[in-house]
Every structure is written in structure tokens, then in C-alpha cells.
Amino acid sequence: MVKIQSSSQAEENEGTNMTDITTISIGRTSGFESVEDSFYEELTVTCDSISYEYKPGMETEFNKSEEWFYRTTRPAFQELFRQAAAAAVEGINRVEEKFVTDIGFTSISVTYADGTVLGRALYFPEDESELKECFNYIQQMVPGGESIPTLLTVREVKKNSALGDFTRSLVQRWKWKYQRPKMPDLPDTLLPPDPPHTLLPPNSPDTLFPPDPPDYLDLSDTLVLPDLPDYPDSSQSDDF
């Protein structure tokens, strides 16, 4: 966590001898990202040492952690440290304090001998450009066998864009996530028609419905049985 000094404290330290600065710390975090893309890296420089640490959110074959540390007593290294410290204080005092969340950023701080910390969070490329001179000095302090850490690089600010494409995309993503406009109520003429019903409405005319099935035939009125002839009464016959 970078401790931000007040304006009065910063003014007091402007006249402080750069030999009173004991440590320069630079860190970078990926911000709100997936675990595969998240990372954190930190570079610490003193008048006689330099160390670097890189920690990915998920270590893979192509994204491994890295750590190195070197100590030296070379006068050229100490001179570069004093120049980097002076450039860091000047750059930090030029960067305005901002409140930004959910994006990656670079932080830089200098620690004085009395424990006072002066620092800033660098969210945008134009903030990083204020520390470009300091970063250039520290790049010369990195041992020849190690690659230059990415946190010492300054993103380009395009001439036609105050924030640059990277910053503008982050702002647009923030607006889309937190400031989505409410959709207005559309008039009925702009709404799509209702889908056709599979069943006919109850008030449709009878011609739209299939005819009723025919009733079973009642044959009682159509079939007439003939009258049977009268047979003689056998009890009154003379033949017996």
C-alpha cells in the first residue's frame, strides 16, 4: 500500500537532500482480471542493492514467477540511485492524486531516512510519463544478465488522445459496467407484433371452426315393418 503524503509534507521534502532517501519502490498490479491473467511485480532499489519479484496469479509453463537480487558497492550505481531518487520526487509531485478502481496501475514511492514515505499511484500513461526520467535511470541499474522489468516501461500517449487508447478503453468499460443508460419505453408502433396464436380466439365466427361431426343415424323412423297376416284360430277349426 502506497502512503500518499499531504501537500505540506511534499513541499517540505522538496528541499530535502536526496541522500536522505533510502529506498525507491515500484510496483505494478494487473487489477481486476481473470486469475490466468492476473499478476503482481515489484522492484526495490537502494543505494547499494536492487531486487525484483514477479508473481503470476496462476503459474504456467509460459508464465512463471521470477525473482532476483543483486548488491553492489560501485560508485556509478550509487550516483544513478541519487539521480533516480531526485527524478522520482519531482515526478511524484507532478502527478495529481486520483481515485480509480478495478484497473491495473503502477505505484512508486520513495522512503526517507526518518521513515516518511512519498508515493503516487500511476493509473494512466500520462502519469507514467512524469516518471520516465526516473525509470530510465533505474533501467541502467538493472544487471546485464537480467531483462528490463515491464514496470519500468512507459506506455505511449497518442498525440490525438489525452488518455490514449488503453485508458479510453478502460473508461468505456467502466461506463458500460456502471453507467448503463436505462432503456426508454418504446411506443407500441415500434414493438414487434405478437406471434400468431395456435388456437383461435373464442370470439371467432363459426366458419373458422371445423364442422361438428354427424350424429349417429336413428333408423327407428325410416324402417317400417310390414303388418303380419291374421292366422285363423285353430281352436275353432272343424277339422278336428
Angle, helices 75-94 vs 7-14, to 10°: value is 140
Please compute the mean of the pLDDT values over residues 192-215 and round it to a whole number: 59
Report the mean per-residue pLDDT for the chain: 75
Please report, rounded to a whole number, the percentage of residues in the chain having pLDDT higher than 70.
57
Model confidence over 33-53: pLDDT tens digits? 778 778 899 999 999 999 999
Give the confidence band of 132 by pLDDT, cuts at 50, 70, 90: very high
Among the four given CATH numbers 3.30.1560, 3.20.20, 3.30.160, 1.20.930, the one describing domain 7-148? 3.30.1560
Q: Are 24 and 84 in contact (CB under 8 A)?
A: yes
Give the confidence band of 97 by pLDDT, cuts at 50, 70, 90: confident
Q: Determine the Cα–Cα distance for residues 10 and 4; give it in Å rounded to an integer.
A: 9
pLDDT at 154: 86
pLDDT at 50: 96
Q: Determine the Cα–Cα distance for residues 116 and 183; give it in Å rounded to an integer.
A: 51
